[in-house]
Amino acid sequence: MRIAIVAHIRHPIATPFMGGMEAHSHALAAALVQRGHDVTLFASGDSQPPEGVRLHPVVAQHYDRDFPWHRFHGTDEMNAHLDAAFAAILPALRQGGFDVVHNNSLHRYPPRMARRDRVPMLTSLHVPPFDALRRAVHASGAGWNRFTVCSEAQMKVWADGAPDLPAHVVYNGIDTDRWAYHGKGDGTAVWFGRITPTKGTGEAVQAARFAGLPLRIFGPVEHQDYFDQVVKPYLGPTIAYCGNLDPDVLAHRVSRASVCLFTPRWNEPFGLAAAEAMSCGVPVAAFDAGAVSEVVGNGGVIVEGGDVMALAAAALRAARMDRRAVRDLAVARFALPTMIDRYEDLYRLCIAERDSPACEVDFPPIELPAERSARGGVLPLAAE
């Protein structure tokens, strides 16, 4: 198949990854090429796609460089930048000869275009529903325009009020060879991910201190003030920040730990770091939030969200778990080939249903920036 993957453009699709969405798009592209598909990645121009994947720049460079999320999120300036960028690639998606589009963009234009123009598309929803995207998803579903969520917990929040939404649960897949089994921990705890309040790095620091466990922290500092206030004051011989590492190096470091602390302070859609740690045989001590209990299951110990003392006790209990059983659970549920098998099935379903009947929905035209400029005004873009 000729497949277009449309990535989110906040960060480049390049190692070391800034987060799970970037890792997902990169792994998806690489796996599809390995299976013989022809893949084009629509992403920021400073991305570094896997070997054999063509890059179609959506913007010259990722938007967080010019519009840092914490300053510009929700502003008219950022919204206009994103709208212009994704409007500009719609002709290429529609007319580029692709058999199917896998949309990871989190933008409302691609699914609306797919519904309107009968473009086979599978959109993966990696976040809880925010208003503009939720409206687009609920208005755009069709046999050829389907959606995936990464957990049953996500399905409940996305399908609320839309029982006929053509959505499917597909767990995020991980490279279980990269996240390889290591049979014995070294007595340390590990935390890895984006360092930001919603990920709860500060709570992990406090839990490790209460448990008397050395803690190694890995990942990009997304929120510098937060890092300076709740992490940096505790750095020293037992609490160490070790940077944002290449995935292979990170996997090696994570696999040596005795327990992984997973501390979401938001409605966690999946929990990629937890699954990656489990793949190494590292048990997880986690806050219960969103899909955490669904993903971790018997691979760790789960406590009420925000209860730092309970998390400290859970970390000591989890560190004594059978690491081989933890690894086997992760491989059975989250191996990358399982995810790709499911996506390929859904691609074929979208393609097969391209010419199926659908109720007519009158969407206002999606005007490109040049068209708006030529008319001397701004008209509504795709049903809001």
Can you tell me the mean pLDDT for 331-354? 97
Handedness of CA 340, 345, 349, 351 (dihedral sign): positive
Which pLDDT tens digit goes with each residue over 246-262? Answer: 999 999 999 999 999 99
At 66 the pLDDT is 86
At 363 the pLDDT is 54
Can you tell me the mean pLDDT for 94-104? 97
At 276 the pLDDT is 98
At 364 the pLDDT is 53
User: What percent of the chain is predicted at pLDDT more than 90?
Assistant: 85
At 67 the pLDDT is 87
Q: Which fold has domain 2-173+336-375?
A: Rossmann fold (3.40.50)
Residue 43: CB atoms within 10 A of its CB come to 31
At 370 the pLDDT is 47
Q: What is the DSSP letter of 180?
A: -
Q: Record the tokens describing residue 330, joined without a space.
A: 């992760």
At 365 the pLDDT is 53
CB 53 within 8 A of CB 28: no
Distance CA 230, CA 101 (A): 41
At 161 the pLDDT is 75
User: What percent of the chain is predicted at pLDDT more than 70?
Assistant: 93
**DSSP bridge partners of 124:** 148
Question: Scanning the structure block, which residue is given the tokens 């460089």?
Answer: 65
Residue 196: CB atoms within 10 A of its CB come to 21
pLDDT tops 50 at residue 381: no
Question: Scanning the structure block, which residue is given the tokens 């890995």?
Answer: 218
pLDDT band at 330 (very low <50, low <70, confident <90, very high): very high
CA-only gyration radius of the chain, Å: 21
Distance CA 249, CA 236 (A): 22
- Residues near 321 by Cβ (< 8 Å), separated by ≥ 6? 283, 299, 300, 301
How many whole angstroms from its chain centre is CA 138? 20
CA nearest to 27, candidates 10, 11, 45, 39: 39
Lowest mean pLDDT among 29-38, 319-328, 348-357: 348-357
CATH architecture of 189-334: 3-Layer(aba) Sandwich (3.40)
Number of H helices, E strands in the chain: 16, 13
In 163-280, where do the E strands start and end?
Answer: 167-169, 189-192, 215-218, 239-241, 259-262
The angle, 0 to 180 degrees and rounded to 10, between the axes of the packed helices 272-279 and 247-255 is: 60
pLDDT tops 80 at residue 15: yes
Domain boundaries, the chain: 2-173+336-375, 189-334
pLDDT tops 80 at residue 353: yes
The angle, 0 to 180 degrees and rounded to 10, between the axes of the packed helices 323-334 and 336-352 is: 10
At 361 the pLDDT is 52
At 279 the pLDDT is 98
At 380 the pLDDT is 35
At 355 the pLDDT is 82
At 71 the pLDDT is 83
pLDDT tops 80 at residue 362: no
Cα three-residue angle 184-326-316, rounded to 5 degrees = 65
Which pLDDT tens digit goes with each residue over 121-149? Answer: 999 999 889 889 999 999 999 999 999 99
Average pLDDT of the chain?
Answer: 92
Q: Record the tokens describing residue 331, joined without a space.
A: 């491989």
Which pLDDT tens digit goes with each residue over 142-195? Answer: 999 999 999 999 999 999 877 889 999 999 999 999 999 999 999 999 999 999
Distance CA 88, CA 370 (A): 9
Q: Do domains 2-173+336-375 and 189-334 have the same CATH topology?
A: yes
Cis geometry, peptide bond prior to residue 247 (ω within 30 degrees of 0): no
pLDDT band at 383 (very low <50, low <70, confident <90, very high): very low
Distance CA 260, CA 279 (A): 12
Which pLDDT tens digit goes with each residue over 269-289? Answer: 999 999 999 999 999 999 999
pLDDT band at 358 (very low <50, low <70, confident <90, very high): low
